[in-house]
Structure 1
Amino acid sequence: MGQNIADMIDGLDLFRDFAYRELEVVAGYLAYQEVPRGDTIFREGDPGSNMLILLEGKMGIYKGGESGQYLLSYEGRGRMVGDMALLDRELRSASCVAESDCQLLSLGGDALDRMALEAPAVAYHFMHNLARLLSKRLRRTSGILAEHLLN
């Protein structure tokens, strides 16, 4: 891996206003993993309790329908997926496939709970930024839905 996790997340949108010391704290709760091209990272309907941050590579997000799988989006460096499962610990709402070799960081619900107990200010900062990004995503999705309904 060569590079430390704090350096890997430095500059990503989720951590854009974190001090380096905060990045080091968050890094202690993240797990690094590599996923080869073509592997399914998680499937729609799987139990979920972690989110992923894509460091390198490209992932496809797919939703099942009556006539197969539909591509919802491609996600690249710095994007997060599975964030809803981290928060609500519900079943996965879509499938995630490695479209290329991927380097990921994972944050599990148990690790987030530990961070909240051990480093509450950093956990609050993380959750605040996560909420901001989720709000942005919801606004974008609402706009797409409204446009679709008007056409």
Structure 2
Amino acid sequence: MAKNSDTAFRVREAYGRELSPGETVFDEGDSGDNLYVIQAGEIELVREGPSGHRVVARLGPGDFFGELSLVGGQRRTTRAVAVRRTRVLELDRATLESMCLAQPEIAIRLIRFLASRLIEAERRLASMGVDDLLRPVVRALVRSAEADPDADKSGKKAFRVPINLRALSDQSGLSMLEAHRALHQLFDQKLLRLIDDALVVPDLEALSGCLDQADAA
């Protein structure tokens, strides 16, 4: 027991970070390869959207965050802010791998946590109607087309939309998973195509018509 307590103390001393209320851990769009474990306090994960910021999660002691950047190497998809005085462990990839090898229960707990996040996201998607996903994505695509000087506003000619999944997620106020699901619905309806890793609108009028139908529903 004393050995475990000593190990925990050394981990806190080496990787612990104290956060003041309102302090930002990382911003949306930041690069990063650290995962954080909350030991005490509370963290808000916030995403910026067209109508302002939206709190997507509130996390407490024992929760992880920042895992997507660590595992997938992608940029931060939210801003992490301390709600009150908070203490976290800040772990880089090498440190986490070493800890998982030394204590397999850490790896098991992390896998369970990631699985619960995925299940939660799938449940949220299942509870959302088709229009809940399509409407904000189509609006973002139409806005992007209207802002492009090379786009054919008559809708008679196919053109590439200068937007990627991350930007689409930001502009629609949806998560990247939700925006991805909406894109596939548009692919299925032939309102959008993917050519050479670029989004192509075959008919702007038809895409705008999809938005009109959703608003009228």
Please indicate, yes or no, whether the TM-score normalized by the shorter chain is above 0.5.
yes
SS at 1:129's partner residue? helix
User: Structure 1 length normalisation: TM-score?
Assistant: 0.72
Higher RCO (CA-CA < 8 Å; seq separation 6+): 1
User: If each structure's helix is expressed as a fraction of its own residues, which one has the higher value?
Assistant: 2
Partner of 2:118: 138
User: 1:127 Cα shift?
Assistant: 2.7
Alignment of structure 1 residues 30-109 onto 2, 5 Å: 31-109=15-93
Whether the 8 Å contact between 2:12 and 2:89 is mirrored in structure 1 is: no
Structure 1 vs Structure 2 CA RMSD = 2.8
**1:12-69 CA-partner distances (Å, limit 9, x unpaired):** xxxxxxxxx9x75x94896001010011111111011011111111111101111221
Aligned counterparts of 1:106 and 1:64: Cα–Cα separation in 2: 24
Q: 1:29 to 1:92 in 2, by over 3 A?
A: farther
Q: 1:33 to 1:121 in 2, by over 3 A?
A: closer
Q: Aligned AA for 2:114?
A: L
Q: 1:29 to 1:132 in 2, by over 3 A?
A: farther
Q: 1:137 to 1:29 in 2, by over 3 A?
A: farther
SS at 2:129's partner residue? helix
Seq. identity, %? 24
Q: Which runs of at least 4 in structure 1 moved beyond 2 Å after TM superposition?
A: 26-30, 119-122, 124-129
Match of 1:128 among 108, 116, 125: 108
Alignment of structure 1 residues 106-121 onto 2, 5 Å: 106-113=90-97, 115=98, 120=101
User: Structure 2 length normalisation: TM-score?
Assistant: 0.52
Unpaired runs of 5+ residues, structure 2, are 133-217
Q: Aligned AA for 1:120?
A: L
Provide the aligned length of Structure 1 versus Structure 2.
Answer: 128
Aligned counterparts of 1:53 and 1:107: Cα–Cα separation in 2: 8
